[in-house]
Structure 1
Amino acid sequence: MLKMPTAHRIALLFNGNKIYDREIIAGIAAYLHTTRVSWDLYLEEDFRLRLPGIERWRGDGIIADFDDPAVCRALARSALPVVAVGGSYRDGADYPARVPYVATDNFKLIKLAYEHLIEAGLTRFACFSLPEADVNRWAQEREKAFCSLLRRDRIEPLVYRGLSTSAPSWDEAVEQQVEWLHSLPKPIGIIAVSDARARQLLQACMRAGIAVPGQVALIGIDNDPLARMLTRIPLSSVIQGAQEMGRTAAHLLHRMLNGARLDGTRILVPPAGLNVLASTRHEPFQHPHVMQARHFIRQYACQGIKTEQVADYVGVSRSSLESHFRRELGRSVHDEILRFKLDAAKAILAREPGNIADIAVGCGFTTVQYMHAVFKRELGCTPREYQERAAQAAAIPVPAAAVAAASPLP
């Protein structure tokens, strides 16, 4: 008779309304699905993190977000095995004592974003952080990493923390962001400490009429799909290794439940990569009319704009704008609009099985036949064929050897 593994009751103390926490939880789930571990998981039904009464919880182990100081205090005297998850610290004394700790490598997150902006041809950089507070320790660590990297390269770091966002302070926060943006040298690359912070700054750029990425190239951290959906200009982002953190934390707790002593174990997990989108596709054009025009096209190409509307926005004649585009890009304004429409259609076709006619309308093509003709001319395939190829590519499994080689487990 097959012997079933011992079932354990495990609490997951995370705020599941945040993408970072959800990805960690997904990593824990992935570990459970690939092992014979049997865990009964406790997680608040609405995914919010509630601590009152946790000291009376009669379970077997806890995996918790130690970026939250309240969690650290609540679990300081826990008799249960605890694995902490959070951000890395430059000063080793800032880590919790005697608790195994799995960290996102804050220095490498910022370094990857910084190197990406350098590769985009930028030479000036700024950081959009958060006000200094115990709950924002992770943001302050990313700010420190930014300053360290720039001083290493003998560049003066420009850091702005701004206000914490709330309904009463929202307008004042945006006004201050606009003022800061106007004060910066251009062009400039800005690293925001999170996608939520990057989205706010992107809105401030829109309000101030500052071209993204022509004048400001902006990158966040988290790869949050919600942040991308709420912005007209798709936001580039560093992808945290949060799922790997979850798998690692689950593995450590599994070992502790089997008697291993892991006091003081620290594992730093590097970023998983970059999602490079329009907000950092900086091209150092010489003429401001081209920069302004592309900023307008990037926002409104899928709404069926014409060359005349772009010229009106820039404030020049159509012939003058066409001349600038031919000289700078080697293509017409119409071709540039069409290029953005095509990119938008490709992105939708690659990620969802939508109706081709609906996608054509949503991306600003006058008819599905016109989109079909553009795909055949530019890509040598129909929209349906492109969609099928993308689906097949997404279904290719990752070799087990590659997954094993990437694992940081001890």
Structure 2
Amino acid sequence: MNRAPASQTPHRIALLFNANKVYDREIIAGIGHYLRSTRVAWDLFLEEDFRCRLAGIERFDGDGIIADFDDPAVAEALIGCRLPVVAVGSSFEDPAHYPPELPYIATDNAKLVSLAWTHLIGAGLPHLAMYSLPVAQENRWAQERELAFQKLARDEGVAAPVYRGLATSAPAWNQAIEQLSEWLHSLPKPVGVIAVTDARARHLLQACLIHGIAVPEQVAIIGIDNDPLTRTLTRIPLSSVIQGTEEMGKTAAHLLHQMLSGARFPGRRILVPPVGINVLESTKHEPLSSPHVMRARHFIRQYACQGIKTEQVADYVGISRSSLEEYFRRERQCTVHQEILRHKLDAAKAMLASRDAASAEVAIRCGFTSLQYMYAVFKRELGCTPREYQDSVALEATRSPTSARPDSGHGRQ
């Protein structure tokens, strides 16, 4: 609740969102940023259990509502609402699908998909595909992303299949992964796959890891959401399109603020473009001629920080250590040990930059035998200590707040 000056009575505003989802949480955060940056006084209703957020909403004794209209139940519940309402949700190719009488703030699906498409093409992927969701009213936004993907494919004159798979459920989980694996095996390689959400991208990663499909050499994967939870659940860091969700929240709050003063915006639509791409390992595609090196790097990406040795990598690939070393010298101009060390160093740099752990814990979690050894590697490879590296990253961030977003173009489910 925002405290108002004594002379100002706060407006009572309902936020109808599923705060279990990163997309909704970031829209709510954008609303909060708007309130903090203005003198607006709102008493906010936000149901902690999203399953109960519509119970009795027609009797809400308030002044206005900002709601997620991608949820058909929300849209249905607010038909004929007497209060000012700002709708937030997906963009639509067909304008008739927008609610006709309400202002509507939309994530620009065409630009989300186009940004992911351009990124994969730029990574040298000759084939593209999309992993979507089953057709359902609650998945209309996913079908809109399919339409955007298919239009790009038609414009480019290429075959780019879409696979919807099964809805996520415990009973069908094994079947879903097996069917997804079959689809992945059927695709021409190398291929870049756009998932309609980070959650669906995680399914792709799991299927690839289970069935030994090298990511990103054979299948490069990009999601939409930039969801930090998803990144903690995958061995290979996931690239993802960053939606403009906070800007959507700010814009929705600004419109409702004006409507509370008497303004009306029936049928107004504002499309918010993506912010950029968080480019991580899952799309750092490097064409390689040796399947042995591809398989080795796939194993190293997953287990480098668990202290694996060259012999273990060779055993996984199924060839002798000397043969694997020869393949690495030809293709990577380095040894297998150096490749493992590079992944450990990259993981340590990422942890230090995020300030998630002290140096000693970073050394343990990234597979270094001791803190002293990690210090020695940093000095040799980067010319600085871990602490000096951490300080330099923090200083750079203050100078350039957008430096962590190397590709321009935050997500959903």
* TM-score grouping bracket, smaller chain normalisation: over 0.9
The aligned residue for residue 405 of structure 2 is none
The aligned residue for residue 125 of structure 1 is 128
Would you say 1:332 and 2:320 are equivalent positions?
Answer: no
SS for the counterpart of 1:284 is coil
Deviations 1:11-69 (A, max 9, x none): 00000000000000000000000000000000012355521210010100000000011
Would you say 1:279 and 2:276 are equivalent positions?
Answer: no
- Distance in 2, matches of 1:51 and 1:138, equals 21
SS for the counterpart of 2:214 is coil
Cα deviation, residue 392, structure 1: 3.0
- Distance in 2, matches of 1:382 and 1:48, equals 49
The aligned residue for residue 381 of structure 2 is 378
Cα deviation, residue 389, structure 1: 2.0
Q: Judging changes above 3 Å, is the alpha-carbon distance between structure 1 residues 376 and 47 closer, same or farther for their aligned structure 2 residues?
A: farther
SS for the counterpart of 1:32 is helix
The aligned residue for residue 63 of structure 2 is 60
- Distance in 1, matches of 2:133 and 2:90, equals 15
Aligned 1:355-370 pairs, distance under 5 A = 355-370=358-373
Cα deviation, residue 380, structure 1: 1.1
Aligned 1:132-171 pairs, distance under 5 A = 132-171=135-174
- Distance in 1, matches of 2:377 and 2:334, equals 16
Name which structure has the greater RCO, CA cutoff 8 Å, separation 6+.
Answer: 2
Aligned 1:303-342 pairs, distance under 5 A = 303-342=306-345
| Alignment equivalent of 1:267, drawn from 265, 270, 295 | 270
Cα deviation, residue 395, structure 1: 4.2
CA contact (8 A) 1:24 1:245 kept: yes
Structure 1 regions of 5+ residues with no counterpart?
400-410
- Distance in 1, matches of 2:227 and 2:107, equals 16
Aligned 1:21-170 pairs, distance under 5 A = 21-48=24-51, 50-170=53-173
The aligned residue for residue 199 of structure 2 is 196
Aligned 1:177-188 pairs, distance under 5 A = 177-188=180-191
| Alignment equivalent of 2:246, drawn from 243, 248, 270 | 243
Q: TM-score, normalised by structure 2?
A: 0.94
Cα deviation, residue 390, structure 1: 2.1
CA contact (8 A) 1:353 1:387 kept: no
SS for the counterpart of 1:206 is helix
- Distance in 2, matches of 1:133 and 1:255, equals 34
The aligned residue for residue 222 of structure 1 is 225
- For 1:332, give the aligned amino acid: T
Cα deviation, residue 387, structure 1: 1.4
The aligned residue for residue 389 of structure 1 is 392
- Distance in 2, matches of 1:372 and 1:334, equals 18
SS for the counterpart of 2:67 is strand
- For 2:156, give the aligned amino acid: D
SS for the counterpart of 1:121 is coil
Deviations 1:327-360 (A, max 9, x none): 1111111110000000000000000252211110
Q: Judging changes above 3 Å, is the alpha-carbon distance between structure 1 residues 216 and 353 closer, same or farther for their aligned structure 2 residues?
A: closer
Cα deviation, residue 394, structure 1: 3.5
SS for the counterpart of 1:52 is coil
SS for the counterpart of 1:44 is coil
Structure 2 regions of 5+ residues with no counterpart?
403-413
- Distance in 1, matches of 2:166 and 2:194, equals 17
Cα deviation, residue 378, structure 1: 1.1
Would you say 1:211 and 2:214 are equivalent positions?
Answer: yes
Task: Name the Cα RMSD after superposition.
Answer: 1.5
SS for the counterpart of 1:179 is helix
The aligned residue for residue 407 of structure 2 is none
SS for the counterpart of 1:180 is helix
Deviations 1:166-190 (A, max 9, x none): 1111111111111111111111000
Would you say 1:296 and 2:318 are equivalent positions?
Answer: no
Cα deviation, residue 391, structure 1: 2.6
Identity of aligned residues (%): 69
CA contact (8 A) 1:14 1:49 kept: no
Q: TM-score, normalised by structure 1?
A: 0.95
- Distance in 2, matches of 1:290 and 1:25, equals 45
Deviations 1:224-252 (A, max 9, x none): 00100000001100000000000000000
CA contact (8 A) 1:14 1:48 kept: no
SS for the counterpart of 2:267 is coil
Aligned residues: 399
CA contact (8 A) 1:10 1:40 kept: yes
